[in-house]
Amino acid sequence: MSSIYGVVGFPLEHSLSPVMHNAAIKHLGLEAEYKTFEIDPAEPEALANFCYESDLNQIAGFSVTMPYKQQIMDYMDHYDPLAKIVGSVNTVVNEDSMLIGHNTDAAGAMQALQEKTKVPGLRALVLGAGGAARAIAYSLNEFGADVFVFNRTFEKAEELAAEFKLEPIEHRQIAPMKFHIIVNATPVGSGALNESLLSADQIQSNSVVMDIVTQPLETKLLQTAKEKGAQIITGERMLLHQAVGQFELWFDQKAPMDVMEQALYKALESRGESR
Ligand code: ATR
């Protein structure tokens, strides 16, 4: 019988996870299917029920996306240490009826960054202090970068920085710091939030600027960075790498990354986004 996987979140109509995972499943000839499980945040019990009933519905594992990456932790039987430290779960494995929470966002972000830059010893700026920012700031620090955190609500930047022994930074202090690595880990730049948290004078020509936003791929921040001559990394790179990490946790074998990448870019093209 086919095992069922899927993504839990809201809204999911633009989710790119099904095309990547189903392409990999098909390529390897696995008896599995990856679906979408849209859970309305207006129904308070829905997430808990989904988790409690996952066995009943033969769900072998699932991805977790906005807005549930933190909330889902309440329903896990165990976490991996990284998910616990970062405080966010994006991957769940159903192991003999025990739900195990993992975080592949942190490694995914680092793999995306390392396609364009080395990390150790470089000065890095993380924009945001939410779940995604926590994962990225933590891993940048683990990889040996000198990490600063900027956030609209400064107290949250201070809290995050204190927890991971990083530095909070105010907007006016950013330009003189000449950051080499800059990562936007907020939704600013997506959809209606069509703006950039940084201006051109806060980016260097030798900076590497990554955005986690995937709609659009080329956000205002990345456009500004490009104009400045900086290297840019669009949001689908992290999306791809975190999905590869998920697939390997569920199926315990190497994911066919090329196949997943092709499926991702095909879906993006049909959405009018090109590389
Ligand atoms: P996620 O788990 O996806 O990271 P989150 O925990 O809700 O989402 O965090 C969102 C982050 O984006 C926060 O750092 C938030 O800043 P605040 O702490 O000040 O709320 C940031 N953010 C969201 N909308 C923003 C906006 N319009 N301008 C600046 N920052 C914004």
Please report which confidence band the pLDDT of residue 44 belongs to, taking 50, 70 and 90 as the band edges.
confident
Query: 56-82: per-residue pLDDT in tens?
Result: 889 999 999 989 999 999 999 999 999
Q: Which atom of ligand 1 is nearest to the CA of 193?
A: 27
Express as a percent the part of the chain with pLDDT over 70. 100
Task: Give the closest residue (by CA) to ligand 1 atom 30.
Answer: 152
pLDDT of 202 higher than 80:
yes
Active site residues: 69
- Tell me what pLDDT residue 191 has: 86
Burial 67-84, CB ≥16 within 10 A → b, else e: ebbeebbebbeebbebbe
Q: β-strand 3-9 against 91-95: which pairing, if any? A: unpaired
Q: Which of 65, 152, 193 to mutate to test the pocket of ligand 1 (most atoms within 8 A of CB)?
A: 152
Ligand 1 center–CA 186 separation, angstroms? 5
**Per-residue confidence (pLDDT) for residue 23, from 0 to 100:** 98
| Cα 154 to averaged position of ligand 1 atoms, centre (Å) | 11
pLDDT (0 to 100) of residue 110: 98
pLDDT at residue 275 above 70? no
Residue 85 Cα to ligand 1 middle (Å): 19
- Residue 190 Cβ contacting ligand 1 at under 6 Å: no
- The predicted pLDDT at position 174 comes to 98
Q: Is 94 exposed, middle or buried (0-12, 13-18, 19+ CB in 10 A)?
A: buried
**Is 96's pLDDT higher than 70?**
yes
Q: Is the CB of 103 under 6 A from ligand 1?
A: no
- 114-147 pLDDT per residue, tens: 999 999 999 999 999 988 899 999 999 999 999 9
Which pLDDT does position 236 carry in this prediction? 98
Q: Share the mean pLDDT of the chain.
A: 96
Whether residue 48 is predicted with pLDDT greater than 80 in this model: the reply is: yes
Q: How far is the CA of 73 from the centre of ligand 1 (A)?
A: 19
Check whether 240 has a pLDDT greater than 70. yes
Q: Say if ligand 1 is within 6 A of residue 129 CB.
A: yes
Ligand 1 atom at shortest distance from the alpha carbon of 131: 2
pLDDT at 273: 84
> What is the atom index within ligand 1 of the atom nearest the CA of 197?
29
Which three-class secondary structure state does DSSP give residue 210? strand
Residue 201 pLDDT class (50, 70, 90 cuts): very high
Question: Is 1's pLDDT higher than 80?
Answer: no
* Closest-lying ligand 1 atom to the alpha carbon of residue 88: 2
Q: For ligand 1, is residue 220 a contact (CB within 6 Å)?
A: no
